[in-house]
Amino acid sequence: MKYQDNLLFPGKSAPLFSPANVLAEEVCLPAAVIKQSALENNIQWMQRYADARGVSLAPHGKTTMTPWIFQAQQRAGAWAIGVGSAWQACAAMASGVQRVLMVNQLVGKANMAMVAQLKAHYREVDFICCVDSEANARALSDFFAARRQRLDVMIELGVPGGRCGCRTTAQGLALAQSVARLPGLRLRGLELYEGVLHGDNPQPQVEALLRDAAALACEMAPYVDGEFILTGAGSVWYDVVCNVWLAAERPPQCRVVIRPGCYITHDTGIYDESQQQLRARDATACDLGGDLASALELVAMVQSVPEPGRAVVNFGKRDSAFDAGLPQPTAHYRDGKALALDAGALKSVGIMDQHCMLNVAPGCDVQVGDILIFGTSHPCLTFDKWKTLLLVDDEYRVVEELETLF
């Protein structure tokens, strides 16, 4: 039985009226909503930023895994969509994405077979993944050469103690030389993710890694077939990546590609903080006009006020990210009308699977049945909890239901 085809199994956050307004309880709550105006602002702002810096934009699609959003980013000018797995690549291609960067290693025969099938079916799509070892490179070459295919790859450069990637530039160069000799592979460039560097002041380490990568790219250039792709930059250091690489010596025909992902909905937590730090050090981000805006919100209802100073809301860990701070109330509604919400009057202090506990300040009038809007931190781990998100206008009227492919 296909439960999704059963009218009595409508799915999480289903609109049960048409047209539906979230604030009128015409949608099953809790619901994850995306403000259309903020989403469109963010798509255009980041594309303008990339254009102003003279780099290409390949948003990391694993943040949303939402075809509607992939298509909107591509229409706005995104050069590619980034993914992290063969399955995500499949979802991106099925969504109409024309270039897919799998910024990860492709391992395992079944995953290789999936990519081989994708390459055969979507012949016009440019697919590129990463390698960081001789063993993986040889396995990939043997697999794809046996099927009379060539797999496009980039060398991944990493850091000691980080995740994947060659640990030294010497290892990266040796692997590039080896890849160039393998019949089933074609070398396209160099990839890294500087976001693995942490600490009180990681910027000097980030800049050193980027300079090393630019020097390695120049050494790798003779082994790359055609345009050299030099790519990095998550959602925190994309300005620094542009600054260092655009000032450095690079291979001829070098395309610098940045890959932020969380900008798409931004947040009210860690990425808002990092964006304000970026604006403080980057004139381009300020000169563009406007800024990123939080677009992803959680809408939930007060289900219990069991004691003074305590309220319980009907969402939990199954509905929202909580790894980078608990969702916090940003607006309060009753009977569809906004109520004043003083800073600190309501504060999330605990979360369980289906419950969020709030401290209620004296004098704050919260009743069972009230609707609260919550801002979140780290959107990736909210998106992946929903099969459908609701695109809403500024009055919380449902404009469209957006399917996710997690």
CATH number at residue 317: 2.40.37.20
Q: Say yes or no: 214 and 324 in one domain.
A: no
Give this prediction's pTM. Answer: 0.94
Residue 15 is assigned to a structural domain of this protein:
no
H helices of 198-237, where?
203-220
- State the amino acid at position 248 in one-letter form: A
Question: Does residue 353 register a pLDDT over 70?
Answer: yes
In angstroms, rounded to a whole number, what is the distance separating the alpha carbons of residues 176 and 188?
A: 10
Q: What is the mean pLDDT of residues 178-194?
A: 98
- Does the structure show a pLDDT above 60 at 398? yes
For residue range 112-121, list pLDDT tens digits in order. Answer: 999 999 999 9
Residues 49 and 110 in one domain: yes
Could you tell me what percent of the chain has a pLDDT over 70? Answer: 98
* pLDDT given for residue 199 in this prediction: 87
Q: What type of residue sits at position 299?
A: V
Domain boundary among 226, 258, 288: 288
Identify whether 14 is part of a domain: no
Same domain, residue pair 241 and 376: no
Mean pLDDT score across all residues of the chain: 95
8 A C-beta contact, residue 250 and residue 230? yes
The average pLDDT across 14-28 equals 91
Q: 333 vs 30, 240, 336, 360, 397, CA distance in Å?
A: 14, 41, 6, 15, 15
Average pLDDT over residues 171-185: 98
* Lookup: tokens for 115: 């990519």
The verdict on residue 2 lying in a domain is no
Confidence of residue 1 (pLDDT cuts 50, 70, 90): very low
Q: For 272-321, how does the pLDDT look when each residue is reduced to its tens digit (9 = 90+)?
A: 999 999 999 999 999 999 999 999 999 999 999 999 999 999 999 999 99
Return all residues near 68 (Cβ < 8 A) that are at least 6 apart: 391, 400, 402, 403
Residue 155 lies in a domain: yes
Give the structural domain span for 166: 37-288
Please check whether residue 221 lies inside any domain of the structure. Answer: yes
CATH of the domain at 161: 3.20.20.10
Q: Which of 230, 263, 288 is the last residue of a domain?
A: 288
Q: Distance between alpha carbon 70 and the CA centroid of its chain, in Å?
A: 11
